[in-house]
C-alpha cells in the first residue's frame, strides 16, 4: 500500500487522489486593473515577473471543439512553464466546459476541481459535475475545468511503466527487518528516479501555487472578473491558495473536505492516519450489525483486532487473485482504505474481505486497483505520479530517513492501530524526491476575499474534520459548514441541508451562517 497522503477526490465518483499543501506564494502585482489581467492583488506580495510579460497568456483566445462527450467542449490553454520566466518554455493545459443550460440569467463560470493532487478535473467535470451537480446550478453557470499542470491531459507527469507500477504497489510497507526496509526505500528511490527520467522538465513546476496561477489565467480567458469555484479534498487547498494569491478576484468559493495548510507534512500524515481509523471504526460499528460481516459480530474493537490480524496473515502468506498478482498486505490495505471514502462501498468491502478470507483476493484487489486507477490491461493513469510530484514539491518531506520513521511509529500506531504502521512508512516517499520542496506550511488568511464556505464532515477519513475547523478559522472570510456523517466530502452526497446551503450560496451569494450543522 502506498497512500502518499492520498485523498479520494470525490465520494460520488470512485477514484483516487491525494493531498497536501504548499506554501511558497510567489505573489502578484499591486494593481488588478480590469480584474481579468495579469496583475495579482496588492496584498499578495512581491511580483515575480513584469505583469506585461504575462499579458499574452491572459489575453489569449481559446479554440473550443467538441470532445467526445455530448454538450461538452474542450480547448488547449497556454501557460508559462515557469512564472518567474514567462518568456521561456510554454506548456499546454487542457480545459473543458459545458455551457449553462438555462433558464435564468447566466452567472458566469463555475470551476471545479476534484482533488488529488492528480485527479483529472476534466474527467470529473464530464463524469459527474457537468451532469450531476444540481440542475439550478448547471442552469446558471458554465461548468468548467482545467486539468492542473502535470495531471491527465495537461503535460502529465510519468514515472513507471505498468509492470513497474504493479511491482511498486506490492512492496511491503510494514517492514519487519532491515532487508524489508531496504526494499521499501529502494522502491521509493526507483519511483523518484523514474519521474526524474521521464518528466524532469516539468517536475520542478507542478506546485499548487503554479496551478492556482493557471486557474487565474483560465478565469481571465473565460472573461470572468472573479473566480467561482468548488474544490473537493486537495482541491480545497488549491482554492485556498488561489484566494491567498488573488483575494480580490475571489468570488464564491466552496472548499469541501478541507485541508489545513498550516500543518507540516508529518502532522498532516498523522492526522490523516487518525482519520482513517475514525472511518474504519465507524465501518466496524456498522459491520457487527450485519449478518455478512466477515470480521465477526462481537464488537467494533474485535473487528479492528481481526482486521489487523488478517493484514498480518496476508503479509506472511498472500492469497491468489486468479491472475498474475497476489493479494498481499499492501494491496489489501489499499483496498480497505478505498472503501472508507464512501459508506455506500461498505457492503462491497464486506464481500471482498469475506472472499479474501476464503482464499479469493480478486474482489479486494479490484478495490485497490480502482484506488490506483489501474486499467484492466495493466496500464495506470498518471494519478499516482502527479500526486507525488505535487506533494513532494509543496512541503518538505515528513521524514529524513528510515530511522526517523522508526522513531515516529508509536505516534502513528496510536493514531491508528489498524493502519498506523503502513501509513507512517508510506510517508517516507518524498524523502528521496529529486526536486527540493518549494512550499512551506503556513496559515492562509486571504484578507480581502469574499465569503468562503468551508465544508467539513465529522467522520471524514481523508480530511479530518478538525482541518475544516482550522481552515475556516484561518480564512478572514471563512464560514464553517458541518456535515455530521461518514465519507469524504459532503456536497452532492445526499444531505439536503448541505446541498441547499451550498446551492443558495452559489446562486444567490448568501453563505450559510458560520457554524451551521447538517446531518
Set 172, 260, 460, 486: catalytic member? 460
CA distance 75 to 92: 10
How many Cα atoms are found within 13 Å in the side-chain-facing hemisphere of 79? 31
Query: Is 416 a residue of the active site?
Result: no
* Residue of 345, 347, 313, 346 whose CA lies nearest to 332: 313
Strand blocks (E) in 347-491 = 452-459, 478-486
Report which DSSP code applies to 449: P
CA distance 463 to 514: 19
Helical pair 162-169 and 362-372, crossing angle rounded to 10 deg: 120
Phi-psi region of 20 (alpha: psi -120 to 50; beta: other; left: phi over 0): left
CA distance 190 to 201: 18
CA distance 1 to 284: 21
Set 154, 233, 282, 398: catalytic member? 233
Report which DSSP code applies to 149: T
Set 166, 416, 488, 495: catalytic member? 488
C-beta separation of 448 from 43 below 8 A: yes
C-beta separation of 154 from 92 below 8 A: yes
Question: ∠ at Cα 163 (162, 168), nearest 5°?
Answer: 95
What SS3 class is residue 174? coil
Query: Is 460 a residue of the active site?
Result: yes
* Burial of 411: CB neighbours in 10 Å, binned 0-12, 13-18, 19+: middle
Strand blocks (E) in 118-159 = 141-146
Strand blocks (E) in 257-407 = none
CA distance 37 to 28: 11
Query: Is 377 a residue of the active site?
Result: no
What SS3 class is residue 286? helix
| C-alpha cell of residue 507 | 446562486
CA distance 224 to 101: 18
Active centre residues (catalytic): 233, 460, 488
Amino acid at each position: 500500500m502506498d497512500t502518499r497522503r492520498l485523498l479520494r477526490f470525490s465520494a460520488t465518483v470512485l477514484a483516487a487522489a491525494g493531498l497536501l499543501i504548499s506554501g511558497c506564494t510567489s505573489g502578484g502585482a499591486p494593481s488588478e486593473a480590469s480584474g481579468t489581467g495579469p496583475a495579482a492583488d496588492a496584498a499578495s506580495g512581491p511580483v515575480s515577473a513584469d505583469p506585461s510579460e504575462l499579458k499574452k497568456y491572459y489575453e489569449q483566445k481559446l479554440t473550443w471543439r467538441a470532445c467526445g462527450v455530448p454538450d461538452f467542449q474542450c480547448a488547449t490553454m497556454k501557460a508559462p512553464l515557469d512564472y518567474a520566466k514567462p518568456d521561456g518554455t510554454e506548456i499546454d493545459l487542457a480545459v473543458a466546459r459545458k455551457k449553462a443550460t438555462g433558464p435564468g440569467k447566466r452567472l458566469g463560470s463555475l470551476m471545479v476541481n476534484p482533488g488529488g493532487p492528480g485527479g483529472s478535473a476534466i474527467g470529473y467535470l464530464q463524469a459527474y459535475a457537468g451532469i450531476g451537480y444540481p440542475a439550478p446550478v448547471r442552469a446558471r453557470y458554465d461548468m468548467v475545468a482545467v486539468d492542473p499542470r502535470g495531471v491527465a491531459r495537461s503535460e502529465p507527469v510519468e514515472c513507471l511503466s505498468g509492470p513497474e507500477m504493479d511491482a511498486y504497489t506490492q512492496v511491503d510497507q510494514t517492514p519487519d527487518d532491515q532487508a524489508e526496509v531496504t526494499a521499501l526505500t529502494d522502491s521509493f528511490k526507483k519511483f523518484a528516479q523514474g519521474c526524474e527520467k521521464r518528466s524532469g522538465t516539468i517536475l520542478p513546476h507542478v506546485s499548487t501555487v503554479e496551478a492556482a496561477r493557471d486557474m487565474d489565467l483560465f478565469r481571465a480567458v473565460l472573461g470572468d472578473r472573479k473566480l467561482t469555484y468548488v474544490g473537493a479534498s486537495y482541491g480545497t487547498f488549491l482554492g485556498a491558495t488561489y484566494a491567498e494569491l488573488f483575494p480580490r478576484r475571489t468570488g464564491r468559493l466552496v472548499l469541501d473536505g478541507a485541508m489545513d495548510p498550516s500543518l507540516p507534512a508529518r502532522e498532516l500524515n498523522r492526522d490523516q492516519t487518525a482519520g482513517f481509523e475514525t472511518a474504519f471504526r465507524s465501518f466496524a460499528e456498522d459491520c457487527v450489525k450485519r449478518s455478512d460481516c466477515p470480521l465477526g459480530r462481537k464488537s467494533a474493537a474485535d473487528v479492528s483486532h481481526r482486521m489487523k490480524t488478517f493484514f498480518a496473515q496476508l503479509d506472511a502468506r498472500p492469497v491468489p487473485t486468479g491472475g498474475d498478482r497476489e493479494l498481499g498486505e499492501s494491496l489489501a490495505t489499499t483496498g480497505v482504505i478505498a472503501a472508507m471514502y464512501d459508506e455506500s462501498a461498505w457492503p462491497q468491502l464486506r464481500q471482498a474481505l469475506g472472499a479474501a478470507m476464503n482464499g479469493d483476493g480478486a474482489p479486494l484487489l479490484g478495490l485497490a486497483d480502482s484506488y490506483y486507477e489501474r486499467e484492466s490491461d495493466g496500464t495506470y493513469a498518471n494519478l499516482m505520479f502527479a500526486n507525488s510530484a505535487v506533494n513532494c514539491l509543496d512541503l518538505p518531506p515528513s521524514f529524513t530517513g528510515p530511522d526517523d520513521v522508526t522513531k515516529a511509529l508509536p505516534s502513528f500506531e496510536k493514531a491508528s492501530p489498524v493502519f498506523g504502521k503502513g501509513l507512517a512508512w508510506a510517508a517516507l516517499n518524498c524523502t528521496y524526491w529529486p526536486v527540493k520542496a518549494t512550499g512551506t506550511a503556513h496559515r492562509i488568511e486571504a484578507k480581502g476575499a469574499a465569503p468562503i464556505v468551508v465544508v467539513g464532515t465529522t467522520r471524514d477519513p481523508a480530511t479530518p474534520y478538525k482541518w475544516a475547523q482550522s481552515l475556516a478559522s484561518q480564512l478572514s472570510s471563512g464560514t464553517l459548514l458541518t456535515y455530521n456523517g461518514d465519507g469524504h466530502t459532503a456536497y452532492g452526497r445526499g444531505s439536503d441541508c448541505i446541498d441547499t446551503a451550498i446551492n443558495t450560496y452559489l446562486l444567490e451569494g448568501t453563505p450559510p451562517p458560520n457554524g451551521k450543522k447538517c446531518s
